[in-house]
A and B are shown apart, each in its own frame.
Chain A
Amino acid sequence: MNMIFILMLIVLTSICDTTSQMCLKFSINSLKINVDGIKKAFLFVLMLLRIPRVWVGFFFSTLSLFIWLFVLSKADLSFAFSVDSMHYIFIAFASGVILKEKVDLQRWMGTLLIVVGIIIVTLS
């Protein structure tokens, strides 16, 4: 029972994290700016900070961090890290569906290999 609760919390942090990345990337795409050079990068970030969606992203990112800290205080570190590796799958899925990125078979295979590899590394 307790284990299922922790598992659900880890899924929740992954979802929050994915949501925050979606907010940020969606906003960046909407700016359509070519960032070259340090000066342009600062200008670009200032423009980003004026978009409310970016702050929604910050909120989810902070929320994800707090849930994660709570999980780490309860669960085994290697278990938590191996379950958390599924957020790569969430990111790939959401990037394809929401951001309309072309996530082809090769990219999916690569992402799945990374997840499997992380599970092996953290559990060994």
Chain B
Amino acid sequence: MTSIISKKLGALIAIVALLAGGWWLYGPRSPSTWTEADLAILQSLSIDNLPSLPPDPSNAVADSETAARFGHRLFFDTRLSVNGSVSCATCHQPERRFTDGLPKGRGIGLSGRNSRSIVGTAYSPWLYWDGRRDSQWAQALSPLEDPAEHGGNRMQFVRLIGDDPAYRHFYELLFGPLPDFNDRRRFPDAAAPVADPTLREAWQKMTVADQHSVNIAYANIGKAIAAYERLILPGPTRFDAYVRAVLSGNQTTAEGILSNEEILGLQLFIEEARCTECHNGPLFTNNEFHNTGVLSFPGDLPDRGRIDGVRLVRDDPFNCLGEYSDDPDRNCPELTYVRTGIELIAATRTPSLRNLGETAPYSHKGQHETLASVLDLYNRAPLAMIGHNEVEKPLGLSRRELKWLEAFLDSLDAPLATEPEWLTAPVD
């Protein structure tokens, strides 16, 4: 009799223990309260902490509205391509937060990497996944001559400015008289210092002075596009509203803004998951270069990333120290003190985490279709294919914690802070 009772009691205890364990593991969980240190981190991530736009002394028209209007037209103009089919907006679509929804950009051909968003790039000292350009204007020039992207050449582009009365008007208002490129003996139909042998040969036959005058006009195209791109800025998200409420001590309002799961995800984000090591500041990026062990794109060799990007940006004639910069002091601390080294093998630039909902797929070649797949990478921290994965220790988060983290990341979506007129093709 006693043994039956004790057996029943044992079974009961086991059931209660199981239920309690299950409750502990899977039951609803409330976020703990924020410490002072946490609040400082939350504030540092808030969009309210975003400073005003940093000046770009290398671009004299960076803050000119006329230049932005000119750049707006250029950005959406498919004539800026070899066959009239590709504009900047082909890969940087405003409705997708200036990305294209593809693993790799598709212009004239297939681009080498994923098209990064241009939202908030005015804040970054480096552009592209490998940082091979150091200003928005220098970046804007690169795709124009890339055979896989716009596929054109600078001679064609500067001539377009001269031939289109509206463009010529804008150009001369901003930069003074456009040189006369009509003498075909001096200025061929197509020429550029690029890999294509025909274009290169035509370029090399030009005098250095003529090449220089074409380069000046070409750089000015980039500077106008950059003046437009400087206006493309992120807007306040639910996360930012939450931080505002928490910092003003309004806990009840705060809890109505983010769900428990999202707050738990935020706690993981700044704590155990160590996301703010790289995704810090109000744009959730340090704009630095890290190898995080992302697998290569199927069929591609592993991407060398920043180790090549450093060489390319130093060699770029349109960089901050180059002769086409408008800064007479050539005050270019980032480029002057740029570093290289084996740590930068396969390192790519930290992307912003604002607007992830609109910017899939993720990683430098769109290797990750979903956020869950990106988080899984950090949870495993695999060996890097080349170089060294900085994420040395797997996060080891549970499936539930990963869901919380993902829920939090979803709270970082919001319409842009840019006036709607800039987000569609310009109307004449």
Q: Say if A and B assemble together.
A: no
Residues of B within 8 A of A (CB): none
